[in-house]
Structure 1
């Protein structure tokens, strides 16, 4: 009898707390589901949240402090490894972030000498993938996080 009373009390307390909060949150590794107690609507928030690149279309990398960002900036540093210091040092003349089919691009190059050193950063929002293309003295190095990102001629020209 005591167990039934305790279980009933727990259910009542949970029900009351849900009424006060107006929602219950259920999470797993990939998604968050918010169930609102005052309606039958279920709101699903995907793990593909906007990040510093996809959230700042048209802005310049220095304006949004791209290399200082704890998510994408850290990923750029990890992916570029031994090239990182040269990329940052020579990312003086930059282009704003542009997009085509959820693929974002920005570029930076050495001031007064872009042909000598330039970097293109590509971010594929659909697959959460990052590529870095380094052009140094007419030699290209492509760094791929999860594979090659399709780089159309239209995106190249932007």
Structure 2
């Protein structure tokens, strides 16, 4: 059985929905509730590990984009130097090289921005999921404490 935090939370929600109600309160088997809390605790470290991995992956993508942009700029400069020995071709080469540099910088920025946006989106979704999980856990604990 593939357990992930969302499956466990869905099961917990089903248990709450299907539990007996007395005077507006839900009666839940304490042992079953604690079992769900333990499952969630077990699964949370994996979610946190995934968030750390995504952060490292984001940094790696940004670093790769930076290295690629540096390589492109270096290649362009070498091309400019090689072409600078020719007369009329030199003028045209400089124009082309400058355009390539501009395009390379723009491309590098787009790659960096895309990698950062992708990583931020993943981390944002993970943060929302964890926040929802913590809210459900807090509500379950509050209900449990009210039953004492």
TM-score, normalised with respect to structure 2: 0.23
**For the pair shown, which has the larger CA radius of gyration, 1 or 2?**
2
- Of Structure 1 and Structure 2, the greater helix share is in 2
TM-score between both structures, scaled by the size of structure 1: 0.22
More relative contact order in 1 or in 2 (CA 8 Å, sep 6+)? 2
Normalized per residue, the structure richer in strand is 1
